[in-house]
């Protein structure tokens, strides 16, 4: 089987908040038989058992919603219990949790820390910005509750990232949002464009357009590149560097096929993508269908191949390598036609034109530093090999290079590569 990961919705679209811009809240209409949606233990057990029976280098579980912490800490204790039960010796299991953090308490944080969950916390910026759209059902802002949850994570040394949705409330304030997060001591950022349309295909009031997205990215990039390249992780910038340095596409937007993971709803229903949990995209149910059957289903394959069916204009774009036509969500907004240009195309072009030259310099520095570190490691290895010998600094190096020892393996501190920031 091809490697795949799971994105699980244990509480479906249920949430203790009622964020104005949430695209998933209305997915509860897919399951009208009850107002309260919770994953039964038999579904959880079957999902974990069947997934861990497949051959994977790493078993990746992402827990999302709605709000997954509505399940309570005991549910996640059961999760890790089942992973330990069905995991073979030496199995690598990773858990990610995307949450609004308002229900994270000390007990919950301790469990997340014990099993090394990586947590993504939604925070849109300072209080006045965050509370614009991230509100409770009665209209109360959630900022204070989020910071309280974050404090529990920090106190228990839980690794967490900040997930910032870029909306009409903060898109003109990129520099302010970036500096706010850094000043708060949050150094792992993920910025996500808010692109939602109404039934007539018009953008919703909280959505942003391509030009705004491009300006926002350029603002935070200019702040980051000045002094933060070795201090702050911005997922978009990291993903571009990963492609430049390691030829690795580590975010699905950069891929050429959308068959990368499965969404598992609370009742075991399977869908191809978080943004396409629709009745006509349903692939099957884990209680009845194997992962092999789901991965080879014509509907899944057809959905995945749409990613590379981009606009003809993309074939002539110098940035296609980094964009791959953009996420299908930003292309299938009007006619359900993957050949349409991304709603954010102009913004991506502006950002790539602005940032790629500096990112290429940084990538070159990273490669140089790796080479120097590799050389230093080799020299240390030779030193250890000949540690029983007393070698004078001016004697020939025992590695056979013909150089003096002091100019070769006796000099184990490599010169430092230069980095901006």
- Residues with a catalytic annotation lie at 274
H/E stretch holding 376: helix 345-385
- The C-alpha atoms of residue 297 and residue 282 are separated, in whole angstroms, by 11
Q: By 3-state DSSP, what share of the chain in percent is helix, strand and coil, each rounded to 5? A: 45, 10, 45
Q: What is the dihedral of CA 297, 298, 300, 302, to 10 degrees?
A: 160
Token pair, residue 362, equals 């940084």
CB 210 within 8 A of CB 348: yes
Q: To 10 degrees, what angle do helices 210-227 and 235-246 make?
A: 70
- The C-alpha atoms of residue 119 and residue 126 are separated, in whole angstroms, by 20
Q: What is the dihedral of CA 120, 105, 10, 33, to 10 degrees?
A: -130
- The C-alpha atoms of residue 317 and residue 314 are separated, in whole angstroms, by 5
Kindly report the CA angle at 319 between 238 and 366, in degrees rounded to 5?
35
- Look at residue 5 and give its three-state secondary structure: strand
């Amino acid at each position: 089987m091809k490697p795949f990961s799971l994105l699980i919705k244990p509480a479906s679209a249920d949430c203790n908040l009622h964020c104005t811009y949430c695209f998933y809240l209305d997915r509860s209409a897919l399951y009208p038989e009850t107002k309260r949606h919770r994953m039964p233990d038999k579904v959880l057990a079957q999902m974990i058992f069947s997934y861990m029976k497949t051959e994977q280098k790493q078993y990746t579980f992402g827990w999302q919603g709605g709000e997954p912490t509505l399940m309570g800490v005991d549910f996640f204790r059961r999760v890790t219990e089942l992973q330990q039960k069905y995991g073979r010796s030496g199995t690598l299991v990773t858990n990610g949790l995307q949450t609004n953090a308002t229900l994270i308490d000390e007990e919950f944080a301790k469990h997340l820390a014990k099993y090394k969950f990586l947590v993504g916390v939604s925070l849109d910026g300072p209080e006045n910005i965050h509370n614009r759209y991230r509100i409770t059902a009665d209209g109360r802002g959630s900022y204070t509750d989020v910071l309280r949850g974050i404090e529990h994570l920090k106190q228990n040394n839980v690794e967490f990232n900040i997930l910032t949705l870029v909306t009409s409330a903060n898109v003109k304030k990129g520099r302010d949002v970036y500096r706010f997060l850094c000043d708060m001591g949050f150094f792992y950022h993920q910025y996500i464009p808010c692109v939602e349309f109404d039934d007539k295909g018009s953008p919703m009031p909280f959505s942003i357009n391509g030009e705004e997205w491009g300006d926002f990215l350029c603002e935070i990039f200019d702040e980051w590149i000045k002094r933060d390249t070795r201090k702050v992780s911005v997922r978009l910038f990291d993903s571009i560097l990963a492609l430049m340095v390691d030829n690795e596409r580590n975010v699905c937007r950069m891929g050429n096929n959308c068959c990368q993971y499965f969404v598992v709803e609370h009742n075991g229903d399977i869908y191809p993508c978080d943004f396409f949990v629709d009745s006509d995209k349903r692939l099957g149910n884990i209680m009845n269908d194997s992962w092999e059957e789901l991965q080879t289903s014509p509907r899944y394959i057809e959905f995945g191949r749409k990613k590379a069916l981009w606009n003809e204009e993309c074939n002539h774009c110098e940035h296609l390598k980094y964009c791959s036509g953009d996420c299908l969500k930003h292309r299938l907004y009007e006619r359900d036609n993957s050949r349409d240009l991304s709603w954010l195309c102009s913004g991506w072009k502006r950002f790539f034109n602005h940032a790629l030259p500096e990112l290429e310099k940084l990538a070159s520095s990273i490669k140089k530093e790796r080479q120097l570190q590799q050389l230093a490691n080799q020299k240390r290895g030779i030193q250890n090999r000949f540690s029983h010998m007393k070698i004078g600094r001016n004697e020939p190096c025992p590695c056979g290079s013909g150089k003096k020892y002091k100019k070769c393996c006796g000099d184990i501190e490599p010169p430092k590569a230069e980095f901006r920031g």
